[in-house]
């Protein structure tokens, strides 16, 4: 049997880069030590919606209620989705140290973290929001324009879209400080993990949320290692607690025909 130590070392492998403009490019991420915070983070949902215009009329007999100052209670806290991410790697039982095995698992976790989070995030957004266009809209640009028009919050939304939609809308996107924006200024997430539930390549998804915030804990290796004696390999596991949420509101639309053609 060949000695696995004669194979390529990690330093000889090509460099890898995660998707550049995914959810991690716009989320406000706070790193904290692990502790008893996995029930989530409470944020006050301040979205600029509690603003009214009172008429400048001095005659209380016309409409007395217009002269009454309205007091607003604080909005309730916003819940978060809390889970643990796991990176794993199967290693040869010969030639790798325990530390190296954990490095492999941690590399997997670092590289795939936001892809895994995106898949969970978009599933939650679609489940929690009501689409103003339940039948979907044909054409990526038509869907984007309609969904933005339906956004009734003062807070600028974050626009989440599948990669096929982003490709079609390339002329309407620009790169700004490491993230994408629409030409109208809204931040854009191109989520490679956002294809969950789509039936075919001609379908796409566009979703809007308020600002996205995340809390990430420190990485830990699970105690002990699992060995598969049939294949003579170790299974190394690295875990990281994660919490993510969004403010204000969410909505979405299915793009029935991402690419439309005209005769």
109-131 pLDDT, tens digit per residue, is 999 999 999 999 999 999 999 99
- Decide if 175 is inside a domain: yes
CB 245 within 8 A of CB 78: yes
- The candidate with the shortest Cα–Cα distance to 4, out of 87, 99, 101, is 101
Q: Burial, 76: exposed, middle or buried (Cβ in 10 Å; 0-12, 13-18, 19+)?
A: exposed
- Decide if 139 is inside a domain: yes
- Decide if 263 is inside a domain: no
Pick the more confident residue, 201 or 77: 201
Which structural domain, as residue segments, surrounds residue 151? 20-31+78-255
Q: What is the mean pLDDT of residues 174-192?
A: 95
pLDDT at res. 40:
63
pLDDT band (50, 70, 90) for residue 31: confident
pLDDT of 71 higher than 50: no
- Decide if 142 is inside a domain: yes
pLDDT at res. 196:
78
- Decide if 50 is inside a domain: no
CB 36 within 8 A of CB 240: no
pLDDT at res. 47:
79
Per DSSP, helices labelled H in 63-212 are 98-128, 140-150, 163-168
3-class SS letters over 30-73: EECCCCCCCCCCCEECCCCCCCCCCCCCCCCCCCHHHHCCCCCC
pLDDT band (50, 70, 90) for residue 254: very high
Q: What is the mean pLDDT of residues 85-114?
A: 80
Cα-based angle 161, 165, 166 (whole degrees, multiple of 5): 75
- Decide if 223 is inside a domain: yes
User: How many percent of the chain have pLDDT more than 90?
Assistant: 42
pLDDT at res. 18:
83
Domains held by the chain: number: 1
Q: Give the Cβ contact number of residue 243 at 10 Å.
A: 21
- Decide if 211 is inside a domain: yes
- Tokens standing for 31? 């790193």
128-171 pLDDT, tens digit per residue, is 999 999 999 999 999 999 999 999 999 999 999 999 999 999 99
pLDDT at res. 235:
79
208-238 pLDDT, tens digit per residue, is 999 999 988 888 887 555 666 666 677 788 8
- Three-class SS state of 145: helix
DSSP code per residue over 222-253: PSS-EEETTTTEEEEEEEEEEEEEESS-EEEE
* Cα–Cα distance, 260 to 64 (Å, whole number): 54
């Amino acid at each position: 049997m060949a000695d696995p130590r004669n194979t390529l070392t990690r330093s000889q492998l090509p460099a890898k880069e995660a998707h550049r403009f995914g959810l991690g490019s716009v989320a406000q991420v706070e790193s904290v030590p692990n502790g008893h915070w996995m029930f989530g983070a409470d944020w006050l949902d301040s979205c600029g919606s509690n603003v009214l215009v009172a008429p400048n009329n001095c005659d209380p007999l016309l409409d007395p209620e217009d002269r009454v100052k309205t007091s607003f209670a604080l909005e309730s806290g916003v819940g978060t989705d809390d889970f643990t991410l796991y990176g794993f790697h199967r290693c040869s039982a010969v030639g790798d140290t325990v530390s190296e095995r954990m490095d492999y698992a941690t590399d997997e976790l670092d590289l795939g973290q936001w892809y895994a989070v995106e898949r969970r995030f978009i599933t939650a957004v679609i489940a929690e929001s009501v689409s103003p266009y339940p039948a979907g809209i044909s054409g990526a640009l038509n869907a984007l324009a309609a969904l933005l028009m339906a956004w009734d919050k003062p807070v600028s939304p974050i626009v989440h879209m599948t990669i096929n939609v982003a490709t079609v809308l390339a002329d309407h996107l620009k790169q700004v400080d490491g993230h994408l924006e629409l030409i109208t200024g809204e931040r854009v997430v191109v989520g490679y993990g956002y294809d969950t539930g789509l039936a075919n390549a001609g379908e796409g998804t566009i979703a809007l949320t308020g600002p996205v915030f995340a809390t990430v804990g420190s990485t830990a290796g699970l105690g002990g290692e699992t060995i598969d004696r049939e294949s003579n390999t170790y299974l190394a596991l690295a875990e990281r607690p994660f919490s993510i949420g969004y403010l204000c509101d969410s909505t979405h639309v299915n793009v029935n025909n991402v690419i439309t053609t005209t005769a």
